[in-house]
């Protein structure tokens, strides 16, 4: 057993390897003997950067009866996927499912294997298939109602409460704050962000906020602000395209931008990105009040309204930053998210509140 365990690669770089019956049997077996997987039937496959494969497994006679057979595998394989590994995002997501998810009272995909390879940056997730279980994945641009936002904000509150404060975060030392990193290492230079925002994606927005240097400066002020504020685990990319829905309500997937930060980054980004501009203007205060109520219901003392409303309005700049620099996403999604998030920043003078 020891020799077999040492030979097992928990996060291969080749898709053919992780789709083999031999590898899947080892992944499902965990620390014990491999499961007897005889055949792998591919149901669906998505790409091209992050690969997701839905599959049905066929087990041999030595496998225990009644095994779950519908799974979804996720990882970066081949071109262009492997190019993303140096960012560490897949290591982060694997660590979330390995270390954090078992402690959370959230609706999440049930992950049976969260493998990682620090040397390559690879991470491979094997999860029970949500679609087969009756869930529906939402898309970035489909209508998202205030009622749905109530459900997803409850999920975010559960995440935040479970990790509220630096003492709670100490058990996950690998979770880092990202706002400072994003400003220090400009993956997309500020001048290029200005070019992008002066183009089609920024066309619906006031000229004053279509400036890359100002967008970066606002995120830098958020990083400064948050050094003196309480931290918790935050999802970091909570738009509707990273939500699923089942009979119990909304759940959250795609934990690659998991970070430690202020709760308002998740809440402001989620409300402003998921809802239309009109719905956000109508419902955002009620939704923020609901979120604060959910914090209290799940066990922490929420901030006072005035403080929460101020932090919410400032933190809208975080979501705008993420979509101002985004390149490798379908253009209609980029355009709409810049319109929604940029309009929210303009509505609330988020840059002015941050002093930039």
First CA to last CA across the chain, in angstroms?
60
Residue with tokens 């529906």: 136
- Whole-angstrom distance, CA of residue 71 vs CA of residue 55: 5
pTM equals 0.94
For residue 348, give the 3-state DSSP assignment: helix
From residue 156, give the alpha-carbon distance in Å to each of 1, 233, 243, 270, 292. Answer: 41, 9, 11, 9, 11
For position 133, what pLDDT does the model report? 96
Domain at 136-354: CATH code: 3.90.1200
How many C-beta atoms surround the C-beta of residue 147 within 10 A? 10
- Whole-angstrom distance, CA of residue 219 vs CA of residue 207: 18
Domain boundaries, the chain: 2-128, 136-354
For residue 42, give the 3-state DSSP assignment: strand
Identify each DSSP E strand in 81-176 by its residue range: 111-117, 122-128, 136-137
Bridge pairing between strands 70-76 and 122-128: antiparallel
- Asked if 175 contacts 233 with a C-beta cutoff of 8 angstroms, the reply is yes
- The pLDDT tens digits along the chain (356 residues) read 444 545 899 999 999 999 999 999 999 998 778 999 999 999 999 887 789 999 999 999 999 999 999 999 999 997 766 767 878 899 999 999 999 999 999 999 999 999 999 999 999 999 999 999 999 999 989 999 999 999 999 999 999 999 999 888 999 999 999 999 999 999 999 999 999 999 999 999 999 999 999 999 999 999 999 999 999 999 999 999 999 999 999 999 999 999 999 999 999 999 999 999 999 999 999 999 999 999 999 999 999 999 999 999 999 999 999 999 999 899 999 999 999 999 999 999 999 999 99
Model confidence over 68-91: pLDDT tens digits?
999 999 999 977 667 678 788 999
Nearest to 84 by CA among 331, 242, 256: 256
How many C-beta atoms surround the C-beta of residue 277 within 10 A? 17
């Amino acid at each position: 057993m020891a020799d077999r365990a040492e030979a097992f690669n928990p996060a291969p770089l080749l898709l053919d390897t992780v789709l083999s019956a031999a590898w899947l049997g080892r992944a499902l077996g965990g620390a014990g003997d491999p499961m007897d997987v005889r055949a792998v039937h591919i149901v669906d496959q998505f790409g091209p950067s992050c690969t997701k494969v839905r599959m049905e497994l066929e087990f041999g006679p030595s496998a225990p009866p009644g095994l779950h057979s519908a799974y979804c595998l996720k990882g970066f394989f081949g071109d262009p996927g492997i190019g993303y590994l140096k960012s560490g995002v897949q290591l982060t997501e694997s660590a979330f499912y390995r270390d954090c998810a078992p402690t959370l009272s959230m609706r999440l995909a049930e992950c049976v294997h969260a493998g990682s390879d620090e040397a390559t940056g690879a991470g491979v997730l094997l999860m029970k298939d949500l679609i087969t279980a009756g869930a529906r994945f939402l898309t970035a641009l489909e209508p998202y109602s205030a009622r749905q936002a109530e459900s997803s904000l409850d999920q975010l509150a559960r995440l935040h409460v479970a990790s509220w404060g630096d003492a709670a975060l100490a058990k996950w030392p690998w979770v880092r704050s990202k706002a400072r990193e994003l400003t220090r290492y400009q993956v997309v230079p500020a001048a290029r962000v200005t070019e992008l925002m002066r183009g089609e994606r920024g066309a619906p927005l006031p000229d004053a906020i279509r400036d890359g240097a100002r967008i970066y400066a606002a995120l830098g002020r958020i990083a400064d602000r948050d050094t003196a504020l309480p931290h918790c685990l935050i999802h970091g990319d909570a738009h509707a395209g990273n939500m699923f829905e089942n009979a119990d309500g909304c759940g959250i997937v795609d934990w690659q931008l998991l970070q430690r930060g202020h709760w308002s980054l998740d809440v402001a980004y989620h409300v402003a990105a998921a809802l239309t501009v009109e719905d956000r203007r109508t419902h955002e205060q009620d939704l923020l009040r609901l979120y604060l109520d959910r914090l209290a219901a799940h066990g922490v003392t929420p901030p006072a309204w005035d403080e929460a409303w101020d932090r919410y309005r400032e933190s809208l700049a975080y979501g705008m930053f993420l979509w101002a620099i985004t390149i490798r996403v379908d253009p209609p999604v980029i355009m709409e998210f810049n319109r929604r998030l940029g309009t929210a920043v303009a509505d609330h003078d988020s840059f002015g509140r941050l002093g930039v």
